[in-house]
């Protein structure tokens, strides 16, 4: 029984992310992941027929707005493309999730969780099921082509009988005791069995902190007494915690230990009457209230250690790809941007873009028909332009040397925002993106450095080729770097240096009067 349970847990960490967080992985990321896998595998014969039929079902589910069905279909497609059979048991495993009112938890209090389903599977049961619940350490990512290690058991939370066969109609509640578990990040795992038959497992990342509720109350009190300029810095972990717990954001967008410590540091600085951001250089985060969303939004900064404010500095706005955050250009892309920014003397500001799938607006095209998507994209664009405005106010910026770059969704966003606000940018650098050639006329005066790999399975290289072809037709100054054999993500880090070299050689001839 013990070996079987461990095997189930191991499987949890290799299945698609649909079974992970309370705020489920956004459908845009699932769609891109599925399409990327399809473009990589290039199915033929019987597999192609299966995928073609599945794509028709995807289109119909999308038309009808059946998101649960879309999640099932994307999971099925990825399994088939990976050479794994789609059985009733596999489908059931993808259907179950753990949900709760809180994923950031005050461990001193009882913790209520529910086992639910996001779609109705095909499998038939003749009796109620059993769930075994455990708390485990978060798994260390495995090396490529290696099985992930089984996460270490922290606490066995018991076996629960009488789990309903239909968890959409009758979610199964647990009340768990975590009072003796140390603060930190964990994964809550529920293994579901039908007698001795393993059906799969649902996993939920959670963060535990003793006295969390008291800490939040204290920070709210400190924020009321704080100057307006830093109030959002203190309240960010409070606001983000609530949005994560409401399921609006994934837990990975919030680091309780780091973010609460940052807020506490701001409070401590204020007690000594010191502005914690005055003269600050290096790598750090800022936060502000995006009024239209009534939400405190983070952005990440790099300020060269040579910056004193004595002279104006160039600025780069860096836009992350789909599923990324304000941390992406700092923690990803081979971590190339911060040291290169130091060497070249650039201030860097990396916005979140409101949501990890915000898309940075719709540029000068047509707004999305779906009002929820439209609002998200509108706020995404606003976030980018608000961050630009704030950095202009807080630092001495060379208005003739403001640049825009981005990867993937951020590369697409770079072309959208350049078309919408063409008077701001001295040069732009889209990576692995795609755009609308008809919009280039609006920003034909902006020099561009474009990077793409010709083996990109996520955003086809034709997206950049078509843009570059139109630029050349219009006489736009463009440097195109097409990487032979280059993948979607692999071309970004190695070419950030070339992008900054290009920016170094370009500035606007006159001071911009355009403001976001």
Q: Tens digit of pLDDT for each residue in 457-473?
A: 999 999 999 999 999 99
- Predicted confidence band of residue 5 (pLDDT cuts 50, 70, 90): very low
Contacts of residue 470, defined as CB under 8 A and 6 or more positions apart, other chains included, come to: 437, 440
At residue 442, the pLDDT reads 97
Query: Whole-angstrom Cα distance, residue 172 to residue 169?
Result: 10
Q: What is the pLDDT of residues 30-75, one digit of tens each?
A: 999 999 999 999 999 999 999 999 999 999 999 998 999 999 999 9
At residue 151, the pLDDT reads 84
Average pLDDT of the chain? 91
Report in angstroms the alpha-carbon separations of 467 from 237, 447, 496. Answer: 41, 13, 20
Domain 283-504 has CATH 2.40.10.10: no
What are phi and psi for residue 237, nearest 5 degrees? -65, -30
Residue 1 has pLDDT above 70, yes or no: no
What are phi and psi for residue 189, nearest 5 degrees? -125, 130
The HSE-up count of residue 12 (CA atoms within 13 Å, CB side) is 32
Instruction: Name 295's bridge partners.
Output: 290
Query: Whole-angstrom Cα distance, residue 461 to residue 434?
Result: 8
Q: What is the pLDDT of residues 144-188, one digit of tens each?
A: 556 667 789 999 999 999 999 999 999 999 999 999 999 999 999
What are phi and psi for residue 463, nearest 5 degrees? -60, -40
Q: Which residue has the higher pLDDT, 266 or 1?
A: 266
At residue 99, the pLDDT reads 92
Q: What is the pLDDT of residues 27-42, one digit of tens each?
A: 888 999 999 999 999 9
Tokens of 494: 């190695």
At residue 23, the pLDDT reads 67
Report in angstroms the alpha-carbon separations of 145 from 141, 148, 293, 319, 464. Answer: 11, 9, 42, 30, 31
Query: Whole-angstrom Cα distance, residue 478 to residue 445?
Result: 10
Region at 30 (left for phi over 0; alpha for psi -120 to 50; beta for the rest): alpha
Q: What is the pLDDT of residues 428-486, one digit of tens each?
A: 999 999 999 999 999 999 999 999 999 999 999 999 999 999 999 999 999 999 999 99
Q: What is the pLDDT of residues 299-312, one digit of tens each?
A: 999 999 999 999 99
Instruction: Name 98's bridge partners.
Output: 115
Residue 19 has pLDDT above 90, yes or no: no
CA 21-23-26 angle, to 5 degrees, is 100
**H helical segments located in 226-287:** 228-245, 256-271
With b meaning 16 or more CB within 10 Å and e meaning fewer, what string describes 7-37?
Answer: ebbbbbbebbebbbbbbbbbebbbbbbbbbb
- What's the order of all strands across the beta sheet hosting 295-303? 282-290, 295-303, 347-351, 313-319, 397-407, 427-431, 448-453, 478-483
CATH number of 95-208: 2.60.40.10
Q: What is the pLDDT of residues 350-393, one digit of tens each?
A: 999 999 999 999 999 999 998 999 999 999 999 999 999 999 99
At residue 27, the pLDDT reads 87
User: What is the residue whose two structure tokens read 């350049």?
Assistant: 418
**pTM of the full structure:** 0.86
CB 172 within 8 A of CB 131: yes
């Amino acid at each position: 029984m013990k070996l079987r349970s461990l095997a189930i847990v191991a499987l949890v960490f290799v299945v698609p992310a649909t079974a992970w967080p309370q705020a489920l992985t956004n459908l845009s990321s699932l769609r891109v992941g599925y399409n990327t896998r399809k473009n990589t595998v290039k199915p033929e014969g019987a597999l192609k027929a299966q995928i073609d039929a599945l794509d028709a079902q995807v289109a119909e589910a999308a038309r009808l707005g059946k998101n649960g069905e879309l999640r099932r279909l994307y999971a099925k497609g990825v399994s088939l493309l990976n050479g794994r059979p789609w059985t009733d048991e596999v489908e059931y495993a993808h259907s179950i999730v753990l949900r709760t009112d809180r994923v950031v938890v005050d461990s001193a209090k009882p913790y209520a969780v529910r086992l639910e389903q996001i779609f109705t599977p095909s499998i038939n049961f003749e009796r109620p099921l059993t769930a075994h619940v455990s708390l485990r350490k978060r798994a260390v990512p495995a090396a490529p082509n290696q099985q992930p290690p089984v996460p270490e058991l922290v606490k066995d939370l018991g076996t629960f009988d009488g789990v309903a066969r239909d968890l959409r109609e009758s979610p199964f509640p647990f009340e768990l005791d975590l009072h003796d578990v140390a603060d930190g990040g964990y994964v809550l795992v529920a293994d579901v069995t039908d007698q001795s038959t393993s059906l799969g497992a649902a996993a939920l990342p959670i963060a535990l902190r003793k006295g969390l509720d008291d800490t939040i109350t204290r920070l709210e009190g400190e924020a009321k007494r704080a100057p307006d300029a830093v109030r959002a810095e203190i309240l960010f972990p409070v606001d983000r915690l609530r949005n994560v717990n409401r399921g609006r954001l994934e837990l990975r967008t919030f680091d309780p230990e780091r973010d609460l410590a940052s807020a506490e540091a701001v409070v401590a600085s204020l007690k000594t009457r010191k502005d914690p951001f005055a003269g600050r250089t290096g790598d750090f985060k800022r936060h502000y209230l995006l009024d239209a969303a009534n939400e405190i939004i983070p952005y990440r900064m790099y300020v060269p250690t040579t910056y004193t404010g004595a002279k104006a500095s160039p600025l780069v706005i860096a836009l992350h790809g789909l599923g990324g955050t304000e941390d992406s250009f700092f923690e990803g892309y081979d971590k190339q941007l911060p040291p290169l920014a130091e060497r070249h003397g650039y201030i860097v500001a990396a916005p979140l873009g409101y949501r990890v799938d915000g898309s940075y607006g719709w540029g000068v095209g047509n707004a999305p028909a779906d009002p929820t998507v439209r609002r998200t994209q509108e706020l995404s664009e606003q976030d980018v332009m608000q961050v630009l405005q704030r950095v202009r106010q807080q630092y001495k910026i060379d208005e003739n040397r403001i640049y825009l770059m981005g990867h993937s969704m951020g590369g697409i966003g770079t072309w959208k925002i350049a078309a919408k606000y063409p008077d701001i940018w001295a040069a732009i650098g889209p990576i692995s993106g795609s755009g609308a050639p008809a919009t280039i006329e609006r920003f034909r005066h902006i020099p561009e450095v474009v990077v793409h790999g010709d083996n990109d399975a996520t955003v086809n290289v034709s997206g950049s080729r078509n843009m570059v072809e139109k630029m050349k037709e219009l006489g736009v100054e463009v440097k195109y770097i097409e990487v032979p054999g280059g993948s979607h993500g692999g071309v970004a880090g190695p070419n950030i240096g070339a992008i900054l070299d290009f920016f170094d050689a370009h500035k606007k001839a006159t001071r911009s009067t355009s403001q976001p």
